[in-house]
Amino acid sequence: MAEGPVVGTPYGAVRGRYENGLAVFRGIPYAAPPFGPRRFRPPVPPEPWDGVRDAGAFGPTPPKPPYSEAFAKLLSDPVVPGDDILNLNVWTPEPGPGARLPVMVWIHGGALTRGSSAVPVYDGRAFARDGLVFVSLNYRLGVEGYGLFPDAPANPGLRDQLAALEWVRDAIAEFGGDPDRVTVFGESAGAISIGALLASPRAKGLFRRAALQSGPPEVTERDKVRRLVRRMATRLKIPATAEAFAAVDRAALAEAQAEVGRRASPVLGGPAFGIVVDGDLVPRDPLEALLDGDAARDVDLLLGWTSEEYRLWLAPTGLLERIDRLGPVALAGAMARCRCGPEVPRGYRLVHPDASTADLVGQLVTDHLLRVPLHRLADAHPAPSYVYEFAWPSNVPGLGACHALELGFVFDTADVPESAKLAGPGAPQTLADEMHSAWVRFAVEGDPGWPVWDATHPVRVFGAGEPAIVHGPRDRELALWEAEFAASEAAADAADQGTRKAQKTPKPGAVPLSVVRRLRRPGGARRG
């Protein structure tokens, strides 16, 4: 340990390790432990320390329930005990203030309830090998990070991420990074978090580029989060307040959270924690702010998804077969989930005549929740946007090109056993080379290597064959949603005109037509 690299931070010096010619620092506190009187409160700086703090091992991970048996076979989620959960890690090829290298900051996914920076797939060595400073971080999860209480501020988990980015701004130069060339990237809940940070005035200037993988800017209805908190309170037999929850053992809290959220699914819906509009860090719906041009106008974007996102949730649990058996009933459920009329699934059947019912439902919900908002964002964003689709099918039977499969390729860690759990044996290294180098180019140059998004909708498809640029691969499906929106707005206009004729003054509490329209669009306030 005496020979490891030593770097100063705003709160004290840390000693890392040299690994394959790279300097690696793990478990550096960026905020104080969020327990005791700080539980459910915004993060505060850590206590400074004297001497040199060892940074050779991953720090404690946030409280979280384990994955179910079906998902634990596919997704790794290490647990490191301890209180200092608000920590981060740095991989750098050249520690010291003179290097000024581009910086990449990773925000992990896991539905805001699971995951951590200690997942082996997220090892930053390949980014540092290619001349960047890589940072990954932990943040509060589940009810600890996204519970909504009358006596505590909302979104403490997102506030943790903001604090980590502020640490990067203040400290990364000592690790060889350039605080003016920061790219944030994240997948699933990590991408959703970045969408909120993009639109937050408090995060302005903290990053120059952003990559959103399989997660759109969105917020969750406050009432939905409150209902989940109340269910936990009922199970624990305590009031639904931060004061009462703070008195509960963190393991018991995670267990109660797992019980009340057992049936949640991104595809099928159900109770779930999420980011909410709070009037402060998240002053309004992030997608609306970005579409209106109110935020992040000069931030370059990399946006994308996998071809069969839904298979991660439906295949391991046997839901694919059950949905196929339900047939029309399942399609009716998808219509209710997406709040659309029968014309949309009818159009999907015409576009995909050979698809099973489960695949039709999965693609319909994926487009509604993910692809439509990201398309709209790419269309409206003033700065350059680049769009990709990951289409390589997993060697694990049934998974296809599912959610999170691209991660081992982006990180160039397809060789680690934890990546093979999802990808199966024999993942192509050439695909990892292509995808990883694209993310590096985006961070360094702002251009991942394919045409910028324009009216022709160029999409870089990462698949099993040769590299391909496909123009508008999802345009036929997305046109169905545009037609649905137009029909909905026409009906709302007609209803509004009829109401105005029948009643010149609106009733107290009437919802304005503009709000009704927003609620019907993917990414509107009803999402989550």
Residues belonging to the active site = 188, 309, 403
Burial of 505 (0-12, 13-18, 19+ CB in 10 A): exposed
- C-beta neighbour count of 432 within 10 angstroms: 23
- C-beta neighbour count of 476 within 10 angstroms: 13
Amino acid (1-letter code) at residue 250: R
- CA of 197: how far to CAs of 65, 78, 201, 446, in Å? 26, 26, 8, 19
Rounded Cα–Cα distance for residues 105 and 31 (Å): 17
Torsion 74-62-66-243 (CA) sign = negative
* 27: three-class secondary structure by DSSP: strand
| DSSP assignments along 284-295, one per residue | S-HHHHHHTT-S
Spatial contact of 76 and 421, defined as CB atoms under 8 Å apart: yes
Which residues are CB-contacts of 138 (< 8 A; sequence separation ≥ 6)?
59, 60, 61, 62, 85, 86, 87, 88, 116, 117, 160
* 88: three-class secondary structure by DSSP: strand
Rounded Cα–Cα distance for residues 441 and 460 (Å): 14
The first and second tokens of residue 429, run together, are 């290294």
* 6: three-class secondary structure by DSSP: strand
Burial of 506 (0-12, 13-18, 19+ CB in 10 A): exposed
| DSSP assignments along 170-218, one per residue | HHGGGGTEEEEEEEEEEETHHHHHHHHHHH-GGGTTS-SEEEEES--S-
The first and second tokens of residue 34, run together, are 């969020």
Q: Is 395 left (phi over 0), alpha (psi -120 to 50) or beta?
A: alpha
Rounded Cα–Cα distance for residues 23 and 13 (Å): 14
The first and second tokens of residue 423, run together, are 């990808």
E strands, 266-364, are: 300-306
**Tokens 């203040």 belong to which residue?**
170
Spatial contact of 219 and 276, defined as CB atoms under 8 Å apart: yes
Quick one: which H or E segment has residue 52? strand 52-54
